[in-house]
Chains A and B, each alone.
Chain A
């Protein structure tokens, strides 16, 4: 067992592979409907807005805004480093398009709702976790 707490990673499948592997080339990939332009998350085979099958992987800017957050102080397992920030961020591309993530590169107590952030990836085995760090507004 590792000295550090290990994150629980996702099982990679055909629908989520682009999301969890995108960070290999430093890009955040989501699915987008080619008919109506709607961004889908979580990924799926059909556009939930217009029911088109024409959904494909596209790259987003990686820019987002902190919408909600918590600072976790509880140690959930041996080796877990606390405190850390869990946040829901809204991606710049579409209202309501959100990810749960960690905010890194800043004192946890300094993270605020409305803070502009950008994606930064942390590789763990075959998964590239999209984390977010502060960016200039």
Chain B
């Protein structure tokens, strides 16, 4: 198999929940300490920092902490650091860190994603909602916002509807993702909901933007998640089993646009193809899949994009939920996903993939020898994915 030379050496996460009484930096430091202990490293070992999306004063709940703030708060001394929004979706931060290690710029890169969306609005939606004087939009979102297409939910719902139209996909298939996430989340101490969810409950929900209802949308949360990447040469010094980054998908060969593409296809297909082009493993070798569910439909997209089923076949693949359950042939979003375990924004899928590969998932641990996992994040023109292996 491919041997990239880069491993995930440690994972860490803060408390996860709504309106946590902890600042964004406090949550971030909690996650950093957790990850350092998990890896058996100290802050003096860290010589690289990578963050998605960086500090965003215009969207303080979405991007409360960037690389600079963390470096200063912990007095880190780094050879390389980077933050940014453009790249392989939320996993761009991890893909960039991987590249920095491969290039020899750093030996241990701390990658992080901190969100405070459980305490406040997600983004520009609030600006649109709360403004007292009329605002104008500049740049790429001028092609959506003037038509009251304000939210990613409304940008993606037409993709889902077209998938329904072309392939006969139904609400029951979106619901299978939501129900699976809730069932798994109830086995996860870090979850956003305590109530079970049935498919009938799901189908009874009214549309927000057809075919999406509230249960198709992930749960905003406060959280910080840290993934430490290390050179495989350093693996012997680590406290936990290193998880090898076997392959990466970061490709973008379709246009970076929400509407100038052949819907319902999106960038995930580019990233998924790249991932398999760079490894000897095949989709059938994967033991668990952690696939982005910022909206339920995106999980269906990733199932197709990563070749777990044919294009257009994801609805049938998840129908009834047995195949994607913890005991199924492809356990999916085993921590509950973002739908039920909170919008840790891409990083939570990597955290959970590593947890499963190490066999420390507690009540939600998949009952088989988990050796290969895929984690994927993003939707529309943004997509990134990782193939992770325990040797």
Q: Which of B150, B158, B208, B264 lies at the interface centre, i.e. has the most chain A CB atoms within 10 A of its CB?
A: B158
Task: Tell me the dominant secondary structure on chain A's binding face.
Answer: strand
- B259 near A10: Cβ-Cβ < 8 Å: no
> What number of A-B contacts does a CB cutoff of 8 Å give?
112
- A96 near B260: Cβ-Cβ < 8 Å: yes
- B138 near A74: Cβ-Cβ < 8 Å: no
Would you give the 0/1 interface string for B261-274, flagging 1 where the beta carbon is closer than 8 Å to chain A?
A: 01110000000000
Chain A residues in 8 Å Cβ range of B146: 7-10, 127, 129
Would you give the 0/1 interface string for A1-41, flagging 1 where the beta carbon is closer than 8 Å to chain B?
A: 10001111111000010000000000000000000000001
Q: Decide yes or no: A16 and B142 within 8 Å by CB, A9-B134, A72-B148 being known contacts.
A: yes
Q: How far is the CA of A8 from the CA of B150 in the complex (A)?
A: 9
Q: How far is the CA of A6 from the CA of B134 in the complex (A)?
A: 8
Quick check: is A46 within 8 A (CB to CB) of the other chain?
no
- B258 near A100: Cβ-Cβ < 8 Å: yes
Interface residues of A in 40-98 (CB under 8 A from B): 41-42, 67-74, 76-77, 80, 84, 86-88, 96, 98
- A129 near B147: Cβ-Cβ < 8 Å: yes
Q: How far is the CA of A67 from the CA of B163 in the complex (A)?
A: 11
Would you give the 0/1 interface string for B243-287, flagging 1 where the beta carbon is closer than 8 Å to chain A?
A: 000000000000000111011100000000000000000000000
- A8 near B135: Cβ-Cβ < 8 Å: yes
- A68 near B129: Cβ-Cβ < 8 Å: no
- B142 near A70: Cβ-Cβ < 8 Å: no
Interface residues of B in 127-145 (CB under 8 A from A): 128-129, 132, 134-138, 140, 142-145
Q: How far is the CA of A94 from the CA of B248 in the complex (A)?
A: 35
Chain A residues in 8 Å Cβ range of B212: 70
- A8 near B154: Cβ-Cβ < 8 Å: no
- A67 near B162: Cβ-Cβ < 8 Å: yes
Interface size on B, residues (CB 8 A): 42
Q: How far is the CB of B159 from chain A (nearest CB, A)?
A: 6
Chain A residues in 8 Å Cβ range of B150: 8, 76
- A8 near B210: Cβ-Cβ < 8 Å: no
Q: How far is the CA of A113 from the CA of B264 in the complex (A)?
A: 13
- B147 near A69: Cβ-Cβ < 8 Å: no
Quick check: is B167 within 8 A (CB to CB) of the other chain?
no
- B263 near A67: Cβ-Cβ < 8 Å: yes
Chain A residues in 8 Å Cβ range of B206: 73
- B142 near A68: Cβ-Cβ < 8 Å: no
Q: Which of A1, A86, A131 lies at the interface centre, i.e. has the most chain B CB atoms within 10 A of its CB?
A: A86
- B148 near A71: Cβ-Cβ < 8 Å: no
Q: How far is the CB of B41 from chain A (nearest CB, A)?
A: 45
Q: Which B residues fall within an 8 A CB radius of A?
A: 125, 128-129, 132, 134-138, 140, 142-151, 154-155, 157-162, 165, 206-212, 258-260, 262-264
Closest 4 CB pairs of A and B: A70-B157, A68-B158, A10-B142, A68-B162
Q: Which A residues fall within an 8 A CB radius of B?
A: 1, 5-11, 16, 41-42, 67-74, 76-77, 80, 84, 86-88, 96, 98-102, 113, 127, 129, 131
Beyond known contacts A9-B134, A69-B161, A70-B158: 14 more, CB 8 A cutoff: A5-B148, A9-B136, A10-B138, A10-B146, A68-B263, A68-B264, A70-B211, A72-B157, A73-B206, A73-B207, A86-B157, A88-B263, A96-B260, A113-B165
